[in-house]
Amino acid sequence: MKEPGKTETETRFSVAPMMEWTDRHYRFMARQLSRKAVLYTEMIHANAIIHGDRQRFLDFHPQEQPVVLQLGGNDPATLAEAARWAERWGYSEVNLNCGCPSDKVASGSFGACLMANPDHVARLVESMKQAVSIPVTVKSRIGIEGKGMSAKSDYKDLQAFTHTMIEAGCDRLIVHARIAVLGGLNPAENRSVPPLRYEDVYRLKREYPDLPIELNGGLRSIDEMHKHLHAGLDGIMVGRAAYETPRILGHVDALLESESIVAGDDLEPLPRVLDAMQQYILDRFEEGVSPTRIVRHMLGLFHGIPGARRMRQMLSGRWNAGLDDREKLRQYLSDVFAEPGRVESVEASAV
C-alpha cells in the first residue's frame, strides 16, 4: 500500500465549499475573522477553468490564503489540466468533489455519484497528483444510495473507498458523515434527512491513522466544534453555520490552539472586521464590482447584536440610489457600519 502523500497534518478548521456562498468576497470576510481557517472556493467544474474565464473563476485576494480550489468533473485529463491551473494561480491545494448529491451534478456524472466507482475516482486522483506538486484531496459522503443503482452505504463500502483513495495518493479525506441519497432527496434534504454517522468517520481514522481525515456535517455550535477538534481526527469542516453566523469564525484560532473553550462572544472585534470590509468594498468598487455582491455575505455578521435588523435593512437596500462615486459610498458605509455602536450607546444610556 502506498503511503498517503505528504501534507500538513496539524488539526484543521475548514469552511466548506458552498455554491453561491463561498466566493472570493465571502472568503475575504472570513479571513478577517480567522487567520487559521482553511477556506474553499465554490465547486468549479474543470471544464469551466479550461475553457472559460479563468480570471473570473480563479482570482482571489492574497489575504485569503490558505485557500483550496474545489473541482468537479469526471475526466482524468481535464481534471489534471484544471489542477495545473490551480497550482499556477497560487492555490494551496486542490480538492475533488465526490459528495455533492444534486440531480444536476449527478446528470453530469460527477459529485457524489462518483463514489459508485472508487477505481475511477482513483484514476482521477492519480491524474491530478501526477500533474501538480500541491496536495490533492477528496471530499466525499460516507456512502451513496438511490433508485436504479447498487447501494454503497455500509461501512465496508466507505472502508473500501478510503483504501482506494490511499492507494491513489490522496493527501486528505474530508467526509460528510451522511450518505447521499441520489434521485430521491434534494440537496437541502440530503443535509438533514440521512442520519449523521460520526462514529463511521472516527472508526475510519482509527483504521487508517496515517491518512489525514476531516469530519463534516451537522456541526453548528462552538461546543460541538471544540469537541470534535480535540477527539483524534485531523480537523473539522463547517458549512452553513460558518456562513449564516460567520462570527463563529472569530473563535477558530483559539479553538485550534486550546483544549478548553475560550470565553467571550467574539474573539475578533466586529469594528475591526467592518473597517476591513469597508476598505475592501471601496477597492472593489473602483474595479467595477457592485457593493451588493459583497454585502450580501455580511448580513450574518450582525446576528444576535443590538440593531441587527436595521443593519440588515440598510445593507439590503438600494445601492444605486446616489452612490455613484467612491466618496459617497465611503460616507454611506461609514454611517451604516457605525450603527451597531450607536444602538448599543442608546440602549446603555436608557438603562
Confidence of residue 184 (pLDDT cuts 50, 70, 90): confident
Q: pTM to 2 decimals?
A: 0.91
Mean pLDDT of 240-269: 81
- In the chain, what are the domain boundaries? 12-257, 270-350
Query: Is the torsion defined by CA of 166, 168, 174, 176 positive or negative?
Result: negative
Residue 90 Rama label (left phi>0; alpha psi -120 to 50; beta): left
Task: Report the alpha-carbon distance of residue 126 to residue 167 in Å, rounded.
Answer: 9
Residue 6 has pLDDT above 50, yes or no: no
For residue 333, give Cα distances in angstroms to 183, 228, 269, 282, 328: 45, 38, 18, 9, 9
Q: Which of 38, 69, 70 is nearest to 256 (CA)?
A: 38
Q: Which of 245, 236, 233 is nearest to 216 (CA)?
A: 236
Residue 177 has pLDDT above 70, yes or no: yes
CB 155 within 8 A of CB 118: no
Residue 314 has a pLDDT of 81
Residue 243 has a pLDDT of 98
For residue 144, give Cα distances in angstroms to 100, 111, 149, 283: 11, 11, 9, 44
What lies within 8 Å, CB to CB, of 179 at 6+ separation is 141, 142, 143, 144, 145, 153, 194, 197
Task: Report the alpha-carbon distance of residue 214 to residue 202 in Å, rounded.
Answer: 10
Length of the chain: 351
Residue 286 has a pLDDT of 93
CATH class, domain 270-350, is mainly alpha
Residue 80 has pLDDT above 60, yes or no: yes
Residue 106 has pLDDT above 50, yes or no: yes
Q: Which of 220, 221, 247, 225 is nearest to 236 (CA)?
A: 225
Mean pLDDT of 57-82: 98
Tens digit of pLDDT for each residue in 207-220?
999 999 999 999 99
Residue 150 has a pLDDT of 82
Long-range contacts of 155-162 (CB under 8 A, 24+ apart): 155/200, 155/203, 158/200, 158/204, 159/204, 159/207, 160/118, 161/115, 161/118, 161/121, 162/204, 162/208, 162/211
What lies within 8 Å, CB to CB, of 62 at 6+ separation is none
Mean pLDDT of the chain: 90
* Highest mean predicted confidence (pLDDT) among 155-164, 181-190, 252-261, 262-271: 155-164
Pick the CATH number of 12-257 from 2.40.160.40, 3.40.50.2000, 3.40.50.720, 3.20.20.70: 3.20.20.70
Mean pLDDT of 291-297: 94
Share of the chain above pLDDT 90, in %: 75
Tens digit of pLDDT for each residue in 311-350?
888 887 766 566 778 888 898 899 888 865 544 443 333 3
Tens digit of pLDDT for each residue in 141-152?
999 998 778 889
Active site residue 98: no
Q: If you count DSSP H runs as helices and E runs as strands, how many of each does the chain have, helices first?
A: 17, 9
Strand, coil or helix: what is 195? coil
- State the catalytic residue, choosing from 98, 100, 113, 170: 100
Q: Which three cell numbers stand for residue 171?
A: 493527501
Helices (H), 111-266: 118-131, 155-168, 187-190, 198-207, 222-229, 240-244, 252-257
Task: Report the alpha-carbon distance of residue 85 to residue 214 in Å, rounded.
Answer: 25
Mean pLDDT of 182-211: 95
